[in-house]
């Protein structure tokens, strides 16, 4: 019997990898930055702010919404998008802890002799 290999990893590891995958596309990073720069919900055409078609922006918004990184509420005929700052703060803490742990041990840089 086989099982999903993700079951071998913690929930936090799985969540961080999903977030990293979502942020691996520059359009999604740009959307997050746009929403952060406005510091308010944006209703209207986010595609007008980015060099992408409406359809493409919509697909990226759906990816970010699926992870709850952004929220979208219907307001009449438009959708009002804003950041889920609580989740983004938690993700920030998780990534900070991840990188602190990853960089706190022995170093193996370009000028270092690795012991492997």
Q: Which class for 46: exposed (0-12), middle (13-18), buried (19 or more C-beta within 10 A)?
A: buried
pLDDT reported for residue 113: 65
Output the average pLDDT for the chain.
87
Residue-wise pLDDT for 41-67, tens only, equals 887 778 888 999 989 999 999 999 999
Tell me if 48 is assigned to some domain: yes
The residues of the chain scoring below 70 in pLDDT are 1-4, 106-107, 109, 111-116
Whether 108 is in a domain gets the answer no
Domain that holds residue 47: 9-102
pLDDT of residue 1: 53
Q: Supply the pTM of this predicted model.
A: 0.81
Mention every residue, 6+ apart, whose C-beta is less than 8 A from residue 31. Answer: 46, 50, 57, 60, 61, 64, 70
Joined together, the tokens standing for residue 65 give 């919404």
β-sheet bridge partners, residue 73: 80
Domain count, the chain: 1
């Amino acid at each position: 019997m086989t099982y999903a290999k993700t079951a071998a990893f913690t929930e936090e590891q799985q969540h961080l990898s999903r977030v990293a995958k979502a942020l691996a596309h520059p359009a999604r990073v740009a959307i997050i930055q746009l929403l952060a720069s406005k510091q308010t919900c944006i209703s209207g055409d986010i595609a007008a702010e980015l060099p992408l078609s409406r359809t493409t922006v919509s697909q990226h918004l759906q990816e970010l919404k699926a992870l709850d990184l952004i929220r979208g509420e219907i307001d009449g005929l438009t959708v009002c998008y804003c950041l889920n700052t609580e989740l983004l703060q938690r993700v920030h803490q998780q990534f900070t802890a991840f990188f602190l742990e990853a960089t706190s041990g022995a170093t193996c840089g370009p000028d270092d002799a690795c012991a492997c």
